[in-house]
Chain A
């Protein structure tokens, strides 16, 4: 008979609070159910009361880690509503910031998942490297987190020669570090024990459950909004899709590391091909009313396909803004993936989809067979999972051989 195991958010420090109720039998998970809404701030309703230009700054705060993706996607959609095309140089700058954001987000995630499996050294290394990316972003936009670079009609700030030169240096440095991380991940016994064979999601399941982003690409699904529905300057840039057929957490790590190298290449291409002169902003008046339209905008955020639906009724306030974040799309796959795994495997599996969720809830483990109820905080689940793996390392290695 299975037991109900409500598990709170899985990482104490970064993600939205998500509460997943797990049904377990002994140590093995048999089913799961999501319970989210801890970060539901009513943004879609608030957006209806603000103007089109004010919403740029509201929607940026849907997620602090991929804020540029949200704002850029909204600006792209609003430009369709206003029926105006941004100037070419603006698209280059926007894409540059999108790729820098992908670098910072993947480094952040790499640190987080290494922390989940107990490898804190790599957590410190990746976050130190991330600081160089943040320095560059601060030079270009003025802020480390939440850059606010896009506006309806272009971008707000221009780039100078000094910024582009630094972008080249950062791109080269990160590409080199990514090779180092790939070597570490493939050779360290600690990492391989906890990630190889864990969280298996087959290609058919990934397509059936509509998984998006690097989680899908790690299962061999060749889908990326930058390739299938190009926007920005991705059609001309040397962008290539990164796919791995491992289908487990290790594959997800490798896909993201290789994506960092591709991002570094795109950044270097942008630096070389950025138009030297040209307007960066159409300077649309914030008091100009858009025509009645409905538009759809899709962007590849670091976590997957980000979807916006915008509707205008001819006034200064939008009629409807609908947002679908990539993590919501991946919840169905998480539920499928944890089935059949040990409780101790839950942190890396959930962290493996790179949930843009802050965690703050706790885990309730209910074992129906023994009729015992244990309540664990996320940190306690994290420590339990590390201790369990230390004790059962050899058993698990045998099983997974």
Chain B
């Protein structure tokens, strides 16, 4: 059994990086980043050929893609979604709003950045972030999974 563990963990890593299932969560964004994320699944960029798929429920997801500066009303929902995701889970923040608060710093209804609320694995800056940059983030996330970091 002890000898199987390294093999199992290598198998897990191999499977994970070949097919990342993504759940997209909008916490109050203007939709700019959301339509660029959605663009990844359309014929021009087509990331489904790399195994990256959009799922409808956080219980099936490996990666949580978050956009938006987390408004106070959407905060409970964000925490609930994160709890529902099974381990191992990763969080990618897309857009300047989620990474640093962006234009909405100082507003009475936003939390600021997503990392005040969730542990983040990758940030994609941009307003909105270009699809190429989001794909780059996924590649870096896969490399991170390879290296076994958390």
Contact = CB atoms under 8 A, between A and B. Distances in A.
A16 B68 CA distance: 10
Interface residues of A, number: 43
Contacts of A64: 29-35, 128
Given A12-B56, A37-B73, A380-B57, A46 B106 contact: yes
Given A64-B128, A128-B44, A359 B35 contact: no
Contact of A58 (B33, B55, B103): B103
A123 to B, nearest CB: 8
B88 interface: no
A127 B39 CA distance: 8
Contact of B109 (A41, A57, A380): A41
Contacts of A356: 31
A13 interface: yes
A39 B103 contact: no
A62 B130 CA distance: 19
B134 to A, nearest CB: 12
A15 B31 contact: yes
A38 B110 contact: no
Interface string A46-86: 10010000000110011111010000000000000000000
A361 B76 CA distance: 11
Interface stretch (B20-28, B117-125, B140-148): B20-28
B97 to A, nearest CB: 8
A225 to B, nearest CB: 22
A41 B24 contact: no
A145 B128 CA distance: 7
Given A38-B71, A38-B73, A41-B107, A380 B56 contact: yes
B29 A39 contact: yes
B41 to A, nearest CB: 9
B74 interface: yes
Given A358-B34, A377-B56, A380-B56, A128 B43 contact: yes
Interface in A1-36: 12-17
Contact of B57 (A41, A61, A128, A377): A377
Contacts of B110: 41-42
A383 interface: yes
A261 interface: no
Contact of B104 (A13, A42, A57, A377): A42
Nearest to B102: A61
Contacts of B42: 124, 127-128, 131
B26 A46 contact: no
A58 B108 CA distance: 15
B69 interface: yes
Q: Name, among B37, B69, B71, the residue most crowded by chain A CB atoms within 10 Å (CB to CB).
A: B71
B73 A65 contact: no
Nearest to B32: A64
Contact of B43 (A17, A124, A358): A124
A203 interface: no
Interface string A117-142: 00000001001100100000000000
A57 B107 contact: no
A146 interface: yes
A14 B36 CA distance: 10
A144 B130 contact: yes
A379 interface: yes
A262 interface: no
Contacts of B27: 38, 360
B37 to A, nearest CB: 8
Given A46-B107, A65-B35, A380-B57, A17 B28 contact: yes
Interface of B: 24-39, 42-44, 54-57, 68-69, 71, 73-74, 77, 103-104, 106-110, 127-128, 130
Give 4 nearest A-B pairs by CB, closest first.
A379-B56, A64-B32, A42-B107, A358-B26
8 contacts: A12-B56, A14-B34, A37-B73, A40-B71, A46-B104, A127-B38, A358-B26, A360-B77
